[in-house]
A and B are shown apart, each in its own frame.
Chain A
């Protein structure tokens, strides 16, 4: 079984693709790795591709929500892309809303949306970039 999910850095963004059946340890490691990478690279956005996932259960749903929450605190936007239609239908019936998590159909659309989310954020809050840098530095 896979030991860790690779996280790629692309400019201000981090990209990761969940290709394997998640289990507890893998999910915990991913949350930890991702948080560390956001801080290290001062990433502004995270794109999570789940097109290879054949199911999303409440466990994965909780993991995605958790990642989104932590990223928000670190001032990075998150977008989840590529959910299979059968997975989306099942999620709704299961009752999982994935509230507060932005989604897009595929990687290209997700990338554009993420760029826009980050741009909008900089226009709305010109100070936030600075405040963020200071708080990150203080934590080092």
Chain B
């Protein structure tokens, strides 16, 4: 197993740090510049959701491989209110706040694999993969 780190996600500035670390892992996995930008942007969206809607949590970043290709894996979790209707939350333009409703659906488009696990009262966990 590759390098793995866990970062706290308690305040705005933690998102900045997470973006920088994800960029580093993406560079080390030798992802192209567009792929790097996509996984960093996706991380930023999901981390902000965890902070705003989930009341904060943490982010695991891991260097791994997928079918022999180097990859970056992210797991961003919180123990907030959770999402009652995941399908609705994943629709472009749906927001319960004042956002554009693009974070979840957009992040899914930006990565190679995406998983979300959430239930009311159980918090939310989003996993993202981007490979070379």
On A, residues with C-beta under 8 Å from B are 1, 21, 23-25, 54-59, 61-62, 84-87, 89-90, 93-96
Contacts and interface: CB of A to CB of B under 8 A. Distances in A.
Which 6 pairs, one residue from A and one from B, show the smallest C-beta to C-beta distance? A94-B106, A86-B37, A23-B12, A57-B44, A21-B16, A86-B34
B44 A94 contact: no
Contacts of B34: 85-86, 89-90
A58 B106 contact: yes
Interface residues of B, number: 27
Interface SS, A side? helix
B48 A57 contact: yes
A44 B48 CA distance: 34
A54 B40 contact: yes
B19 interface: yes
Contacts of A57: 41, 44-45, 48
B124 interface: no
A63 B14 CA distance: 19
Contact of B109 (A54, A55, A87, A94): A94
Given A21-B19, A58-B100, A93-B110, 8 more contacts: A23-B13, A54-B19, A54-B40, A55-B37, A61-B100, A84-B37, A85-B34, A94-B106
B109 to A, nearest CB: 5
Nearest to A25: B12
B15 A23 contact: yes
A23 B45 contact: no
B23 A95 contact: no
Interface string B103-120: 101110110000000000
Contacts of A62: 99-100
